[in-house]
Amino acid sequence: MPADSPWLAFPAPNPRAKLRLLCFPYAGGGPTIFHGWPSRLPGDVEVCSIYLPGRGARLADAPFTRIFPLVQALVEALAPYLTKPFALFGHSLGALLSFELARQLRRQQGPAPVRLFVSGRVAPQLPDPRPCIHELPEPEFIEELRSLNGTPREVLEQPDLMRLLVPALRADFAVYETYTYTDEPPLECPIAAFGGLDDQKVSRRDLEAWQVQTCAAASVTMLPGGHFFLSTGSTHLLRALSEDLSRSIRSTNG
């Protein structure tokens, strides 16, 4: 195991794992989102949660506001951990980060993921219909966060806590909202897309459009819940991930 990195959290270190699953959070999210996953995924999968700067134990680290400098920093930070087969999972902003990470690794002739899981995010070549919020005045910005239902109400109602969290939240939304897609050849790894049946912003058609980003297999799975179905519908999501990861492990190990 490489030396500890501030970029990664291991909820349940598993040095004998045959595959690592690198998990990228949504805007404002931290590694705790994925802490319950190891016990609900195959035993030969090691869950690695990406820890972005500007939150939690990394509160003093300046958050990134643009995607490509962040992706390059991730490539450098993750390199020691990509020595065994790995898959990428990302939700919303995390889906975008994991996709661009896979492309940056290819540009630099680095290792490729065996599978890319994208969740709650329209395909990158499509325009995102949501309005930009990262430059709103703080009261309006917090109201937009409230409407998205991704930040707990008890957190939103603590002004002192929100003053600490808003810079990283703004930065994450800036990364998401200033993203510009550039056309490149499709990835070679399969892509599995997940969406919420009640998500008003990301439709099945939006998810089906991910298929043009791979020359391998592509799938779409719709799960109960809205945009944050990875919490409300985690049982269904983790069951689907377990099946896909088990297949990937079997194919990787012959």
Q: How far apart are CA 28 and CA 149, in angstroms?
A: 12
Q: How far apart are CA 201 and CA 122, in angstroms?
A: 8
Beta-strand relationship, 86-91 and 19-24: parallel
Catalytic residue, chosen from 39, 49, 92, 147, is 92
92 in active site: yes
Cβ-proximal residues to 115 (8 Å cutoff; 6+ apart), any chain: 87, 88, 189, 190, 191, 192, 244, 245, 248
Dig out the tokens for 7 from the structure.
């970029």
Task: Name the residue among 206, 224, 219, 222 with its Cα closest to residue 116.
Answer: 219
Q: Which residues are catalytic?
A: 92
